[in-house]
Amino acid sequence: MRNLLILILVVAGIWWVQRAIARAKERAAAAGRNGRKTGGRAVAAPERIRECAHCGLNVPESEGVRDGDRFYCSDAHRIAGPRAD
C-alpha cells in the first residue's frame, strides 16, 4: 500500500512539473507576441504619432480621431475641419 501511494505521488509530481513548464512556455510565447523582452520587461511596439489637420498638434494615433484620410487630435477639431492656410 505504501508503494502504491509513493507511485501516485511521483506520477502527480511529474504531471505538475509538466503543467508548470507548459504554462511557462505559453507565457513566454504570449510575451513574444505582445512585444520583445528587454531586461525582464516586455516592451510594447512604438506607436505612430500623427499631426492634427486642424491645429498641428502631434498626438498618438490611438488617442486621435480619423475622418477619411485626415487625422485630428479631438472630435471638436474634426467637426471644425482642416485649418485654413
pLDDT digits (tens, 9 = 90+) for 33-67: 766 555 566 667 888 999 999 999 999 999 999 98
Q: How many CA atoms lie within 13 A of 49 on its CB side?
A: 5
- 22 domain-assigned: yes
> Does one domain contain both 6 and 31?
yes
Instruction: Establish if 85 belongs to a structural domain.
Output: no
pLDDT value of residue 40: 61
Domain ranges, residue 71: 49-80
When pLDDT is averaged across residues 16-44 and rounded to a whole number, the result is 78
pTM listed for this prediction:
0.48
Could you give the number of structural domains in the chain? 2
Nine cell digits for residue 9: 505521488
